[in-house]
Amino acid sequence: MPFLSVLVYLAGLGAGAGMAILAAVALAAMATNNLFLPVLLHVKFLGLQDRKNLSAIILNLRRVSLAIIFFLAWAYFNAIANQKSLVSIGIISFVAIIQLAPAMIGGLFWKGANKNGAIAGMVGGFLVWLYTLPLPSMAESGILPRSFIDPGPFGLSILHPYHLFGMQALDAISNSAFWSMLVNLLLFGLVSTYTKSRAMEKHQAELFVGILEGEDKALSAKAWKVNASFQEILGTLNKYMGIALAKKELTA
């Protein structure tokens, strides 16, 4: 039944394209808001701090971010397609995403958690993930020397990325998830414990964790009350969203 075959193909193509577009747009927004735009705002000679409207620049940054993300995804898949299936690549990305879990959960249930600990944990976890999954897959594809996985870096089998520190009981995915999360949790806990939290971080901890503990002070929002006119709020939103969208959001 050719018609049914074409219909199934189009449905699969649409589902796959939808997931790719959704993920890429979300990543582009995060990269723009948390990486590119803050860096550009700190470059004084660009003069972005003095501009009243940054909406066009933000839109172009998101377009550039999308192009970079799609190119990197294509390049990685094209490099290792002969060694890894699409499902395997998806699982590799899931191991990366769980590096966000300690900071997210810890921030909700532990008052001692702070920004320094969260960053240290995520950076450490991502580095271990990079060492135990993406880099070995590149070695299997010939991009990196085969000696990286056979016998291991510097000829040390104990550093074998798929069996780190001689752990043979776990498969490659479980090995990466175990060691990356272990490093993530240790750094998150130790750095948060031995570094000082800022006043704002302490207040946010009281608000989020205190609600779960039934504290009345957590229900108070006095610290967040500010005196700002409609025009001031409109001016702030206009800088990032444009006047039309800003007015629509405030009058909705």
Q: How far apart are CA 136 and CA 118, in angstroms?
A: 26
Whole-number average pLDDT of the chain: 83
Contact 216, 145 (CB under 8 A): no
Question: Tokens 């723009």 sit at which residue?
Answer: 32
Distances (CA, A) of 52 to 32, 49, 60, 247: 18, 8, 17, 15
Specify the pLDDT at position 211.
65
pTM above 0.85, yes or no: no
Residues in Cβ contact with 63 at an 8 Å cutoff, skipping those fewer than 6 apart: 28
Residue 215 pLDDT level (bands cut at 50, 70, 90): low
Please write the tens of the pLDDT for every residue from 79-119: 776 667 777 777 888 899 999 999 998 888 888 888 899 99
Is the pLDDT at 243 greater than 70? The verdict is: yes
Which has more pLDDT, 249 or 120? 120
| Cβ count within 10 A of residue 54 | 19
Q: How far apart are CA 48 and CA 60, in angstroms?
A: 14
